[in-house]
Each structure stands twice: as C-alpha cells, then as structure tokens.
Chains A and B, each alone.
Chain A
Amino acid sequence: KQEVTQIPAALSVPEGENLVLNCSFTDSAIYNLQWFRQDPGKGLTSLLLIQSSQREQTSGRLNASLDKSSGRSTLYIAASQPGDSATYLCAVMSGANSKLTFGKGITLSVRP
C-alpha cells in the first residue's frame, strides 16, 4: 500500500527565505507526483505535476524535484512571501486504477 509522508507538519520562516518542503513515498512505481496548495477553508490548487519520467518541474518561484528510486520529492520555494502561507500537500498517483495518495501536508507560515 502506498504511503506518503510529509515532515514537518508545520514550518514558520521569515519573509525572503528560500525553503524546501520534503515529501517521501514508499512505493516507487508511480505515474506522477503532484504538489498542491490549500488555503484555509478552500479547495486544493495544483502547483506542479512531475511525471514519473521527469526529474523536475518549475513554475515561477517554485521548483519541484523527483527522485523516484529513493521515493523522495522536494518543493523549493524561492524568496518566500507572506502570500505563500498555506498548507502544501504532496500526492502520488500509482496503482492499477491510478489512485492518488496524499500526504498530510505541511502548513507554512511566512512571517513579514
């Protein structure tokens, strides 16, 4: 059974800091890995999607990497801003029926 872990559960950083959010998964036979952002009381917004054949994806100040063999992904946020404060979830698509398994998320707070 696929399990996805995100540690720590919460993170607080000063504005302007570059930061890395980590995600690990137990079964390397994945189709893709996605990073989502969730604001309080809202739905999930897809940030980046990395296919299993790719090593990284970039969008603006965000860069996500994937090391399938070691079961790890990182989300790099450059020059963090208070508007980046949210919960970031990692999810992997795997299995015969393409099921998405989520981590529990990292709640990020960027202090002005």
Chain B
Amino acid sequence: NAGVTQTPKFQVLKTGQSMTLQCAQDMNHEYMSWYRQDPGMGLRLIHYSVGAGITDQGEVPNGYNVSRSTTEDFPLRLLSAAPSQTSVYFCATSSTGGTDTQYFGPGTRLTVL
C-alpha cells in the first residue's frame, strides 16, 4: 500500500516548456486535488476532482490543466511553463466528497527558468 505517490520529485524546466506532474493513489479514494505551496502564500488549491471524469477549478487554475480518466490517477499538466509556476506541488486525496481526512503525497519541487 503505497498511499499517494508523486513523480518526479524534482524538475527544472525552461520557460515555454510543457510537462506533466503525475499523482497516483492506491486507496480507492474518489476525491483528488492539486495544491501549490509558495513561501508566504501557504497552500493554494489548483484543481480538484470528485471522481473519474469530473474535474473543477480551484483558487489558482490558470496555466494548469487536469483530467481524471481513472480513480487512481490525477495528472497535472503545464502547457507552457512560466517562472511564476516555480513552486512545490502537492497532490492530496480523500475518501468521500472531500470531507474526510486528506492524505498528501511527498510533493514535486518545480523550478522554471
């Protein structure tokens, strides 16, 4: 039982490049979400999903795309990276409707040059 896994752990991109941050969970949780953590800003919700095929925007969705084709996976796509997207990204899951305990992955540290 791996819980919530995120890959890669570290990534350096150049402005304009694209990439996908991977998040996978083996807890059969319906609710999955992506946060970014920046110094002085705290954690902010980017996108979330209440189940396969259903996604919605959070507080800071611009520049990011998501899809949820399976219960287990919730990838976050940066189509054209910008220096403002330099941050630590966390994926989180919970069992039902987002009202239960949230389980976080170890994070991906992204630097955009």
Complex interface bits, B30-54 against A, C-beta within 8 A gives 1, otherwise 0: 0101010000111111001010000
| A61 sits at the interface (CB 8 A) | no
| Shortest CB distance A30–B (Å) | 10
Q: A76 vs B106: C-alpha distance in the bound complex, in angstroms? A: 26
Q: Which residues of A contact B (CB under 8 A)?
A: 31-32, 34, 36, 42-46, 49, 89, 91, 93, 97-100, 102-105
Contact of B43 among A42, A93, A97, A102 (CB under 8 A): A102
Q: 19 extra interchain contacts, Cβ-Cβ under 8 A, other than A34-B102, A43-B106, A49-B101?
A: A31-B99, A32-B99, A42-B107, A43-B90, A43-B105, A44-B43, A44-B92, A46-B101, A49-B100, A89-B42, A91-B43, A91-B102, A97-B98, A98-B97, A98-B98, A100-B45, A102-B43, A102-B44, A105-B42
30 contacts between A and B (CB under 8 A): A34-B101, A42-B107, A43-B90, A43-B104, A43-B105, A43-B107, A44-B90, A44-B104, A45-B104, A46-B103, A49-B100, A49-B101, A89-B42, A89-B43, A91-B102, A93-B98, A97-B50, A98-B97, A98-B99, A99-B45, A99-B48, A99-B58, A99-B98, A100-B45, A100-B102, A102-B42, A104-B40, A104-B41, A104-B42, A105-B42
Chain B: interface size category = 20 to 34
Q: A56 vs B16: C-alpha distance in the bound complex, in angstroms? A: 48
| Shortest CB distance B21–A (Å) | 14
For chain B, residues 26 to 79, give those with C-beta under 8 angstroms from any C-beta of chain A.
31, 33, 35, 40-45, 48, 50, 56, 58-59
